[in-house]
Amino acid sequence: MSQQYPALLVVVPLLSALIISGAGWVNKRLCFPIAVVALGVAAYSCIGLLLRVLNEGVIVYKLGGWDPPMGIAYYVDHLNGLVLSVVSVVAFLNLIASKKSIEQEFPDKMGPFYALYVLMVAGLLGIVVTGDAFNLYVLLEIAALTGYGLLAMGEERAPLATLNYLYMGTIGASFYLLGVGYLYIITGSLNMVDIAGILPSLYQSKAVLGAFIICMVGVWLKMAFFPLHAWLPNAYTYAPSAASSLIAPLVTKVMIYVMIRLMLTVFTPEFAFNIVAVSEPIVWLAVIAIVMGAILALAERNLKKMLAYIVIAEVGYMVGGAWLGNRAGMTGAILHIVNDALMTLCVFLVAGNIVYKAKGYAFDDLKGLVRKMPFTMGAFVIGALSIIGVPPTCGFFSKWYLISGAIQAGHYGFMVALLFSSLVSVVLFFRVIEICYYEPFGDHHGHDHHSEPMDEAPITMLVPLLIVAAGLILVGLYTSDIINHIIEFAIPKGLV
């Protein structure tokens, strides 16, 4: 059974998407349990795979028994083993949390929603697990198309925002496809390992350089790297809460993974940092991304949009860290994929709970929530601390590596940008917490408040949120284990 994990984690969600859309016609209550089982199997396989990788090293799985480079092979190493586990766990937790909010937001569309949801997770897991450059494109589009569907289910402005996302997403994917085309012309192969074996002798070719840059631009478009970010805030803001809390933590992070995979495996760090020699401007772009993301977030008076801009800033963290060109920066970027997925999930789940109870996410809707929803707000504080980067939450530790990387690379601009964004995050989050905490104003000093009754979100929404919040601290405390046992092996020895 455990030999088939790589196939299971894509095939099970894929098939169950079909079953769910069928079951939706029969009885829409069946949809949720099927989705839970499917993603449960996927998450179990992913974690099983990660454990196997830790023991045995890289796992190669040939789909249908066809040998690479002709057939499609799935490769699982330390890097994507880690990302797979994160993606599947995040998707699973969010699925549990989504039950109530889906019942509230669109009870008649449960079948399509869960089918799309599971299909999207299949796409995302596939992107991470596949070792074939073209297969990656197909799965990229599966994830994207289902994502458009999920996002467009949202409120009034969602279709337009999604359409804009679709334009940009399609250009991004097409650019990636074009880059793969050039790689294919040069090497005659689509298998990543195969390409990596053929390329080094051709590194001086302009076509290789072109292919690399075109792929990168495509991936940056998909991950909303500044200045290609314009589609993101509206798309994430107007989406249904269950969809935005799936897509916001995962899609950008999976694209970061693709970027790192291209840099480390398909090409070599040596090529990416020394031959292409654009690290410096890219890190400066990341600096601008971080600063602009933070400033634009500051201008928002609306929780979800503010969080969306923070996602843009966080993308800058990871791109910058990966392009610093040293081991510490790359470690920070990979660690931040894990941490950022968890903390983005945490704050978006909070937003989901708030939307569920308060029926809004503008700052004015948040008044007095600390009394009404103490557990949700507690989780929000932990998520906020992690984004700010306060120990012992995990956000601090990835920031630690990113800043160390910046210092080692002598790139003080990036260090300042990271600190600036931390400072702005303090303002951002404490402004929200202040509103939740103070208003309505207690004008009668010296007397007991007539306390409003507690009105928490339902238990199925609360438990996943609290698990994630606890996870933020646990991951923080186990950072050294994650780095020593997983990330150390994910980065090629050559990168110092």
Partner 1 sequence: MSDLMQMLVAKYNYWIYITLMMIGLYAMIAKNNLVKKIVGMSIFQTAIILFYVSIGAKKGATIPILEHGHGEHGHGAGTHIVHAVDYINPLPHVLMLTAIVVAVATLGVALALAIRVYNQYNTLEEDEILAQIREK
Partner 2 sequence: METITSIKPLLAVLVSLLVTPMLVSSRAPNVREAWTFVAAAAKFLIILSMLPTILKGTEIVYTVAEFPPGAAIKFRVDAFGMLFALVSSSLWIITSAYSIGYMRGLKEHSQTRYFCYFAFALSATIGVAFSANLLTLYLFYEMLSLATYPLVTHHQDHEGRSSGRKYLLYIMGTSIAFVLPAMLISYDLAGTLEFGKQGFLAGTGSKALMGLLLVMLIFGFAKAAIMPFHSWLPAAMVAPTPVSALLHAVAVVKVGVFCVVRVLTGVFGIDLLGSLNFGPFIIFIASVTILVGSFIALSQDGLKRLLAFSTIAQLSYIVLGVGLLSPKGMTGGMAHIAMHAFGKITLFFCAGAIFVATGKKNISEMVGIGRRMPVTMAAFFIGSLSIIGMPPCGGFVSKWYLVLGSLEAHQMPILFVLLGSSLLNAAYFMPFVYRAFFCKPDEAMFENTVKEAPPFCVVPLVITAVISIILLFYPQPFFRLASMMVQSITGT
Among 177, 225, 218, 222, smallest CA distance to 323 is for 225
Read off the amino acid at residue 241.
S
User: In angstroms, rounded to a whole number, what is the distance separating the alpha carbons of residues 238 and 367?
Assistant: 21
Closest approach of partner 2 to the CB of residue 469, in Å: 15
Determine, following the binding rule CB under 8 A, whether residue 185 of this chain makes contact with partner 1: yes
DSSP secondary structure of 82-116: HHHHHHHHHHHHHHHHHHHHHHHH-GGGHHHHHHH
Sequence letter at residue 312 = I
Q: If binding is defined by CB under 8 A, does position 163 make contact with partner 1? A: yes
What is the full DSSP assignment across 127-175?
HHHB-BHHHHHHHHHHHHHHHHHHHHTSSTTHHHHHHHHHHHHHHHHHH
Nearer to partner 1, 7 or 178 (CB): 178
List 7, 171, 390, 467, residue binding partner 2 (CB under 8 A): 390
Q: Which of 22, 48, 159, 378 binds partner 1 (CB under 8 A)?
A: 159
Task: State how far the Cα of 427 lies from the Cα of 355, in Å rounded to an integer.
Answer: 22
* 404 forms part of the interface with partner 2 (CB under 8 A): yes
**Applying CB under 8 A, which of residues 67, 359, 441, 493 lies at the interface with partner 2?**
441
Verify binding: residue 213, partner 1, rule CB under 8 A. Answer: no
CB of 251 vs partner 1, minimal distance in Å: 16
- Choices 40-48, 145-153, 393-401, 440-448; region in contact with partner 1 by CB under 8 A: 145-153
Rounded Cα distance between 328 and 307, Å, is 27
User: 197 has which bridge partners?
Assistant: none
* 447 touches partner 2 by CB under 8 A: yes
Establish if 408 lies at the interface with partner 1 (CB under 8 A).
no
Phi, psi of 4 (to 5 degrees): -95, 5
In angstroms, what CA-CA distances link 318 with 226, 262, 324, 363, 415? 12, 15, 10, 29, 13
Nearer residue to partner 1 within complex by CB, 206 or 449: 206
Give Cβ neighbours of residue 374 (< 8 Å, ≥ 6 apart): 454, 456
419 binds partner 2 (CB under 8 A): yes
Rounded to the nearest whole angstrom, what is the least distance from the CB of residue 180 to partner 1 in the complex?
Answer: 9
Whole-angstrom distance between the N-terminal and C-terminal Cα of the chain?
Answer: 38
Please identify which residue in 423, 454, 470, 496 interacts with partner 2, judged by CB under 8 A: 423
Binding status of residue 443 toward partner 2 by CB under 8 A: yes
- Buried b vs exposed e over 343-376: b needs ≥16 C-beta within 10 Å? bbbbbbbbbbbbbbbbeebebebbbbbbbbbebb
Q: Does residue number 453 form part of the binding site for partner 2 (CB under 8 A)?
A: no
The piece of 59-67, 87-95, 301-309, 381-389 that touches partner 2 (CB under 8 A) is 381-389
Q: Contact with partner 1 (CB under 8 A): which of 138, 213, 298, 390?
A: 138
Verify binding: residue 392, partner 2, rule CB under 8 A. yes
Give residues in contact with partner 2 (CB under 8 A): 385, 388-392, 397, 400, 403-404, 407-408, 415, 419, 422-423, 426-427, 430, 434, 437-438, 441-443, 445-449, 477-480, 483
Give residues in contact with partner 1 (CB under 8 A): 134, 137-138, 141, 145, 148-149, 152, 156-157, 159-160, 162-163, 166-167, 170-171, 174, 177-178, 181, 184-185, 190
